Amino acid sequence: MNISRAKLHVQSGATPKKGPLAGVALFTALTSLITGKAKAVDPKIAMTGEITLSGAVMPVGDMKEKILAAHRAGIKKVILPKENERDLEDVPEDVRNELKFVPVETIEEVLKEALDMDLPKPVVLSFEENGFSATQNV
């Protein structure tokens, strides 16, 4: 297979969408695939959120509906954007008590929770009198 011709095709489906929601899930799935991570994501974990190019997890709408659907599907853990944590008060208490919620701010937190994977710290380039120097950002 010629890798340059491979394409990722995501079906839009018949259900209208209100905006991007699957960035976190797609990034997690692609990371698992690309790294050859032996551990797949637990099928009892649901996740939602969009990500920025810098890796920040952004909030999404309709959280109550997403959580209720996840609960009906037998999900036990929900990874959600930290900014959506306030939406949990709209979810019935009995449903909240049966689910574990993991609020995240970065894609690194998502990968740690979903794949038990730590990303390396980014390398920062700086210019010094002798040229460029690379330092590990901590």
- Give the residue-averaged pLDDT of 36-53: 86
Q: Is the pLDDT of residue 7 over 50?
A: no
Which pLDDT score, from 0 to 100, does residue 85 have? 96
- Give the residue-averaged pLDDT of 64-89: 96
Percentage of the chain modeled with pLDDT above 90:
52
Quickly state the pLDDT bin for 54 (edges 50, 70, 90): confident
Looking up tokens 């489906």, which residue turns up? Answer: 13
Does pTM top 0.85 for this prediction?
Answer: no
Q: Going by C-beta distance under 8 Å and a sequence separation of 6 or more, which residues neighbour residue 48?
A: 21, 22, 24, 25, 60, 63, 66, 78, 79, 80, 81, 84
